Amino acid sequence: MKKLFFLILVICSTLVSCISTKSTLKNVDNTAPKPVIKNNAFVITENTPEAKYGYHQDYPINLGFENEKLSEKNISLFFNALLGKENQNFTYKKLEDCCPFPSKRNVMGAGMLSVYEITFQDTSTAKLYINLFERGKVYCPKGFSIK
């Protein structure tokens, strides 16, 4: 029992020490409206002006428009709005969660980014960072096209 308590204590202290008190996210805009949904996809109208958008942990794709328990749907709405390079189809899968940051939109007081691997028809791959806790304007990332 003492070993279990000690293990839980170590894990909790590690988690607390890993979360910075200052967010490094550069593109959060919690006043951004949720994109319109049409044909089971977000209506995205603009390409990103920022080359790092989605490809860097400080510039994630911010899809936190709803309660965190419901926000996974925003992942499919986002990816359904896009095509790959030269209008090709792609598949995506979640790789991991990473990069803790403080968030008032989570009951724990912190959020994590979701990392997705995209595989294009030509078998090339890309990794995108998605934030399901904070809002931001939703753009089409570089290397993708709008459906």
- Integer Cα distance of 29 and 31 in angstroms: 5
Kindly state the helix (H) or strand (E) to which residue 16 belongs, with its residue range: helix 2-18
| Per-residue pLDDT tens over the stretch 31-79 | 999 999 999 999 999 999 999 999 999 999 999 988 777 788 999 999 9
| Per-residue pLDDT tens over the stretch 82-113 | 999 889 999 999 999 999 999 988 888 999 99
Listed residue (83, 65, 82, 61) closest to 73, CA to CA: 65
3 within some domain: no
The model's pTM is 0.84
53 within some domain: yes
Listed residue (141, 118, 125) closest to 27, CA to CA: 141
| Domain limits for position 53 | 23-146
12 within some domain: no
* Residues 137 and 63 sit within 8 Å (Cβ to Cβ): no
Domains in the chain, number: 1
Kindly state the helix (H) or strand (E) to which residue 97 belongs, with its residue range: strand 90-102
49 within some domain: yes
15 within some domain: no
